[in-house]
Amino acid sequence: MTDTIRLLYWTTLLFTMWLILTANIQLANILTGFGVSFAISLLYLKMFQHSPFKMINPYWLFIYIIILIKNIIISNIEIAIRIFSKDMHLKPAIISIKTELTSDWKKLLLANSITLTPGTLTLDIVDDTLYIHTIECKNIEQKELITKEFEQIIAKI
């Protein structure tokens, strides 16, 4: 994909996000949003060299968002139960989990998904290993369950 198409893609994506987040369709906001989106896209493309660009699959992105929301809700309920219980019995741990994802942005998406889920925090990403702090580590052999569901969907995006 040529740099012009990539510039157009990122500018459009950022500009759309700008309009959604500002919820303002006045001319000044539109011009500012387009200018900022174009400048950020241009800087991004000049600063980072990429492997061949692949479009994001909207179907799997939608599935990912549903799974992320589901996991956030479940984790919030589990944390609330722990908070209101008389004895929390927490077993915090820092664990390392290898990922099969090869793209840096997909690894970052996985790390952020884990961090958004209450009770877990991604501390670092080194090559193909994520270091995660969890407030409850019952069984170290099942540590891959933290990332498995997210990783399977992110690989398809």
**Domain span at 18:** 3-47
Model confidence at 50: pLDDT above 70: no
pLDDT band at 67, cuts 50/70/90? very high
Same domain, 98 and 23: no
**Is 65 domain-assigned?**
yes
pTM surpassing 0.75?
no
Contact 129, 98 (CB under 8 A): yes
Same domain, yes or no, for 138 and 66?
yes
Same domain, 98 and 121: yes
* Counted domains in the chain: 2
pLDDT digits (tens, 9 = 90+) for 129-139: 989 888 877 76
pLDDT number for residue 156: 87
C-alpha to C-alpha distances, 98 to 63, 88, 95, 124, nearest whole angstrom: 23, 29, 10, 12
Residues 78-94 have a mean pLDDT of 82
Asked if residue 77 and residue 11 are part of one domain, the reply reads no
Does a structural domain hold residue 52? no
